Structure 1
Amino acid sequence: MTVQELTAAKANEIFNRAIDDYHKTDDIHAKEQNPFAEGTIESLLYRKNWIDTVQWHLEDEVRAPNIADASVVHLKRWIDRSNQDRNDTVEKIDDWYLTHFRDIKPSPDARLNSESPAWILDRMSIICLKIYHMRLETQRSDATDEHRKKCENKLNVLLEQQSDLGRCLEEYIGDILAGTRMMKVYRQMKMYNDESLNPVLYQKGKSN
């Protein structure tokens, strides 16, 4: 797949497939069944949304009333690992873009962007999840008419936001291909999972 073929609609289609696949079992322990060939951009996008979908439900679980302290710790550490996995997957998506843009020479006055293509896709993935779950709220038979109406209004805003994000992605890619904007990637450099950068971790190592 080329960058021109990876439209916003195509990305959303893959994200929604992952969401639908997850909800066949609706189980945070379910094994990901990625239908795409490993190493492809389709596989990375599916993987990205699967991580987001599982984490969405982990965030619900950890807020359950009367949850045991031990369960909170377990879930919070799971969420922490998930955040790292999410970040690593986004960076792999950016690597895919960088490979496809390697021969493009930006014009001297090419503009920068505040986020990379992969981080726009990250937001698009989350929006797909919000739309899925907000739509469910508009269909709840046990909710009040007022609740369903409020959720319908929110759903319309999310759909507009989804359209706007897709437009931003496609305009950004078009500008990069034209040389009028450049793609510049700064890795997240997360410190809390790095034993050499997190004082709690490396000081504990010294005390042992």
Structure 2
Amino acid sequence: MQFTENCNKIFAQSIDTYHIKDHVDTPIENPFEKEDIQHLLYLKNWIDTVQWHLEDIIRDPEINPDEALKIKRRIDASNQERTDVVEYIDSWFLTKYEGVNTIEGASINTESPAWAIDRLSILALKIYHMQEEANRENASAEHKKACQTKLNILLEQRVDLSTAIEELVQDIEAGKKYMKVYKQMKMYNDPSLNPVLYKEGK
């Protein structure tokens, strides 16, 4: 099984499990051992899935402002957790290929494998929910047709992205490309870097 095939299978498993209860406070029950890369992939998608639904909730035009602020802060925390997990996945790749000698002329990719996998995880959610819309019983025929067209494009995009990730990993394994991981230096969460937070009296 190719790596991305396994990713897509795990993402689908996470999304399906979440939608059994379909609630943002459902606790995660990760079925994979912590030492396994599959554990990180499942965790990554579960975070994305919960955040997807938090983003839906916060867009309710009648939401209570206090509740909206709580959700916004929860989304901020989720974004940080998502970034941390992406970096853990990249660390797994770095360890896996640390013994590879790069060939002359080896190049660096515009994004690391884990950030590409991050996009694959989000794409799995887009596919799931567009499929829902394409099959929604109370929707118009026009709505269903438009959503099916979008779904077909998303499915094609998943094939293309999966192929690109496989090629990137193969190139890293062969020494044709090399990895460098830059830790995300987010400033707005840091009390010493966000001017609103480090103002006198804050």
2:182 is matched with 186
The reply to whether residue 207 of structure 1 matches residue 196 of structure 2 is no
2:67 is matched with 71
2:145 is matched with 149
Amino acid aligned to 1:207: G
Counterparts of 1:46-195 in structure 2, within 5 Å, are 46-195=42-191
Structure 1 position 198, deviation (Å):
1.4
Alpha-carbon distance in 1 for matches of 2:48, 2:201:
36
Identity %: 51
TM-score (norm 1): 0.94
Alpha-carbon distance in 2 for matches of 1:71, 1:108:
56
Amino acid aligned to 1:92: Y
Deviation string 1:113-153 (CA, Å, 9 cap, x unpaired) is 00000001000000000000000001111111000000000
The reply to whether residue 29 of structure 1 matches residue 25 of structure 2 is yes
Amino acid aligned to 1:164: D
Aligned residues: 202
Alpha-carbon distance in 2 for matches of 1:200, 1:37:
41
TM-score (norm 2): 0.97
Alpha-carbon distance in 2 for matches of 1:74, 1:161:
34
> Could you say what secondary structure the match of 2:43 adopts?
helix
Root-mean-square deviation (CA, aligned residues, Å) is: 1.1
Alpha-carbon distance in 2 for matches of 1:17, 1:190:
31
Structure 1 position 194, deviation (Å):
1.4
Structure 1 position 6, deviation (Å):
5.6
